């Protein structure tokens, strides 16, 4: 049981280090209100993307899919690239599949 606990602790600490290293490699500038969309792409985090879309429901559009369409139509950019191109550059395959299926 002690070996199992040590293994779990080691995996958790590695996971935390991996997450923090991603954050330190990325710098957000400009309109930080939308930085979560870029972070979702950088980390290929579907949960963060869907949460970010949900937070804009009622502000930009009535549904998550409509929010995504507004962001794509308004040419929201991350590092100078639209969401689809940035997803390709960052190899965010889950995010790219979600965006392209709904665009």
The per-residue pLDDT string of the chain (103 residues; one tens digit each, 9 = 90 and over) reads: 454 444 333 333 333 334 444 454 677 777 789 999 999 999 999 999 999 999 999 999 999 999 999 999 999 999 999 999 999 999 999 999 999 999 8
Instruction: Note the pLDDT of residue 29.
Output: 78
Number of C-alpha atoms within 13 angstroms, CB side, residue 77? 6
From the list 102, 101, 59, 96, the residue with the least C-alpha distance to 78 is: 96
Q: Is the pTM of this model over 0.85?
A: no
């Amino acid at each position: 049981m002690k070996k199992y606990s040590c293994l779990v602790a080691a995996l958790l600490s590695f996971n935390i280090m991996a997450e923090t290293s991603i954050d330190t490699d990325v710098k957000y500038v400009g309109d930080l209100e939308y930085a979560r969309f870029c972070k979702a792409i950088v980390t290929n985090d579907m949960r963060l993307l869907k949460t970010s879309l949900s937070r804009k429901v009622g502000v930009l559009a009535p549904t998550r899919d409509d929010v995504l369409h507004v962001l794509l139509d308004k040419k929201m950019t991350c590092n100078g690239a639209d969401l689809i191109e940035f997803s390709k550059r960052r190899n965010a395959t889950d995010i790219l599949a979600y965006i392209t299926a709904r665009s």
